[in-house]
Amino acid sequence: MKVYVDLQVEIDVNEDEKEAIGWIQKVLERAAEVEELPTVDVSLLIVDNQTIHKLNREHRGVDRPTDVLSFPLWEPDEEWVIAEDEETVPLGDIVISLPKAKEQAEEYGHSLARELGFLAVHGFLHLLGYDHETKEQEEEMFARQEEILHGVGLRRECN
């Protein structure tokens, strides 16, 4: 099980932010392992608040910035079809606001790596059809996120 992540960072980042962003690959690989997925391909974009605000308005009708957006290529009940000449399943796109991630890391009292890992796995699980519309769905999704993050050593208390 492997995750190919096409990671693009559209804003300037410092060395600490680069290091935190480096955790994303490890987190998504762990997520694919926990979910027992075949080899998958994900596009992940790190942006500023203005960009994610625009995307949120255009695609969800919500006129404010958010922390993470997911754009799945598959419907939750749709069977994945892999072309004969392909070895990976394309899952979709994840967009993360770095300023929002930094703000939330500070607010929650944990590292930027932990927050970016959380947002990446949250977006990844949305690509797989997880949701948090009901209390039961939220409990399942958030428990899975914590399991994945703990599996790579990104706990809430890490700084």
**Within a domain: 19:** yes
User: What's the total number of domains in the chain?
Assistant: 1
136-152: average pLDDT: 96
**Within a domain: 37:** yes
Residue 61 CB coordination number (10 Å): 7
Give the helix ranges, DSSP H, for 68-134. Answer: 98-108, 112-127
Structure-token pair, residue 150: 């703990």
pLDDT of residue 1: 60
Query: pLDDT tens-digit profile of 70-111?
Result: 999 988 777 776 666 677 889 999 999 999 999 999 999 999
- Domain hosting 78: range is 3-151
Handedness of CA 51, 74, 26, 114 (dihedral sign): positive
Residue list, annotated binding site: 122, 126, 132
Which burial class, exposed, middle or buried, applies to 32 when counting CB atoms under 10 A from its CB (0-12, 13-18, 19+)?
A: buried
> Percent of the chain having pLDDT more than 90?
81
Statement: residue 158 has pLDDT above 50: no
CATH number at residue 97: 3.40.390.30
**Within a domain: 157:** no
**Within a domain: 156:** no
- Strands 40-47 and 89-97, by their bridges, are parallel
**Within a domain: 54:** yes
Query: pLDDT tens-digit profile of 129-141?
Result: 999 999 999 999 9
Residue list, annotated binding site for Zn(2+): 122, 126, 132
Q: SS3 for 73?
A: coil
**Within a domain: 146:** yes
